Amino acid sequence: MNDDLGHPVSRHAPARRIVSLVPSLTEAMAATRPEALVGATDWCTHPADLDVTRVRGTKNPDRRAVLALKPDLVIANREENRELDITRLRDAGVQVWVTVIETLDEAFASMRRMFTDGLGWDVPDWLVEAEAAWQRPADRDGRRVAIPIWRDPWMVVGSRTFTGDLISRLGLVNAYADPVLNPGQDRYPHVEVDDIDADLVLLPDEPYVFTADDGPEAFPHIPTVLVSGRVLTWYGPSLVTARAELESALSGR
C-alpha cells in the first residue's frame, strides 16, 4: 500500500502503536482508538486531556524520542512536517504515512485511506458524520473574505489551501486565491495590512492568536469576525461541528 505521496508503507497487522506529528490527525487518532496513540507533538492540543509522550514540534520532532516509542506507524502531513524528518525516520526503519490535504474532499478521502490502508482500522463513525455534515450545498454568499494567519508581518490564506476550500464550501470567496491580489498564487502570501481588500476579515485564534483586542483594530473599515482556528483549519473530528460553528459565527455579519 502507498501513502498520499505514493511512498510504499508496509503493514502486516492493524497498527497498535501510533505517533502523530500533526495536531489534526492526533485528534483523529484519539477520537478513534486512543489506546493506540503513544506519541504526539507539543502542538497537539486536542483532546485537552491527551496524555501521551511529547516528541517536540511539527517542524523539529525529536526523532530519538519517536524511535524510542517503537511505533508501528508515524502519521505526518506534507505541509505540516519537513521532508528531511520523514526521510530520516524512514532511514531509521520507521514506517511513515504522509497525508496530502489541500481541499475538504481530499481531507475526507485521505483520512479514509489512512484509517483503512495505513492503519488497518475501520472507518470511524465521526468521519462518516463529518462527511454528511458537509454534503449540503451552501447558499451562495459571494462575499470576498481575507483570512490573516499572522501579523507583523501580515500573512493571509492564499491559493490551494484546505482553509480556502473550506470557506468556499460555505459560499464565501477567498479574496487571496484571486491572481490579481495574489499574482504568485502563493499559499500564504505576505501582504500590507492597509492593502487588504475584502468584504469580511476572518481572524482565527491560531497560528497567531487574534483576539478582540488584537486584530480587529487593524481593519477599521472592514467587518471582522473572530473564529476558532481549529474549526477553520483542522481536518479531523472538528469537521463534525465546524460547519455549524462557522455558519453561526458568520450569521448576521
* Core vs surface per residue 137-162: b (16+ CB within 10 A) or e: eeeebebbbbbbbeeeebbbbbbebb
Could you give the CA distance from residue 54 to residue 66 in angstroms, rounded to a whole number? Answer: 9
Assigned domain for 128 exists = no
pLDDT at res. 184: 93
Assigned domain for 3 exists = no
Kindly list the distances between the CA atom of residue 169 and the CA atoms of 104, 146, 236, in Å, as whole numbers in the listed order. Answer: 9, 15, 16
Q: What is the model's pTM?
A: 0.93
Dihedral pair phi/psi, residue 74, rounded to 5°: -105, 130
Per-residue pLDDT of the chain (253 residues), as tens digits, is 999 999 999 988 999 999 999 999 999 999 999 999 999 999 999 999 999 999 999 999 999 999 999 999 999 999 999 999 999 999 999 999 999 999 999 999 999 999 999 999 999 999 999 999 999 887 777 899 999 999 999 999 999 999 999 999 999 999 999 999 999 999 999 999 999 999 999 999 999 999 999 999 999 999 999 999 999 999 999 999 999 999 999 986 6
Same domain, 114 and 167: no
Cα radius of gyration (the chain): 19
How many domains is the chain built from? 2
Same domain, 151 and 245: yes
Same domain, 111 and 154: no
Its domain, for residue 72, covers 18-123
Give the helix ranges, DSSP H, for 134-183: 162-168
Same domain, 157 and 92: no
Could you give the CA distance from residue 13 to residue 236 in angstroms, rounded to a whole number? Answer: 24
Assigned domain for 135 exists = no
Which residue, 75, 91, 123, sits at the end of a domain? Answer: 123
Residue 97: beta bridge partners?
A: 75
Tell the burial category of 97 from Cβ atoms under 10 Å away from its Cβ (0-12, 13-18, 19+).
buried
- Distance between start and end Cα atoms, the chain: 47
Same domain, 179 and 219: yes
Could you give the CA distance from residue 216 to residue 94 in angstroms, rounded to a whole number? Answer: 45
Our CA angle for 156, 157, 159, nearest 5°, is 130
Assigned domain for 6 exists = no
Assigned domain for 129 exists = no
Cβ neighbours of 178 (radius 10 Å):
15
Same domain, 183 and 119: no
Q: What is the DSSP string of 5-56?
A: TS-B---SS----EEE-SHHHHHHHHHH-GGGEEEE-TT---STT--SEE-B
* CATH number of the domain bearing residue 103: 3.40.50.1980
Same domain, 106 and 166: no
Assigned domain for 176 exists = yes
Could you give the CA distance from residue 44 to residue 30 in angstroms, rounded to a whole number? Answer: 11
Same domain, 77 and 174: no
Assigned domain for 136 exists = no
Report which of 1, 44, 48, 2 is spatially closest to residue 19, judged by C-alpha positions: 44
Same domain, 28 and 67: yes
Assigned domain for 220 exists = yes
Dihedral pair phi/psi, residue 29, rounded to 5°: -65, -45
Q: What is the DSSP string of 43-70?
A: T---STT--SEE-B-SSSB-HHHHHHT-
Same domain, 119 and 158: no
Same domain, 156 and 236: yes
pLDDT at res. 61: 97
* Residue whose cell numbers read 469580511: 200
Could you give the CA distance from residue 99 to residue 120 in angstroms, rounded to a whole number? Answer: 16
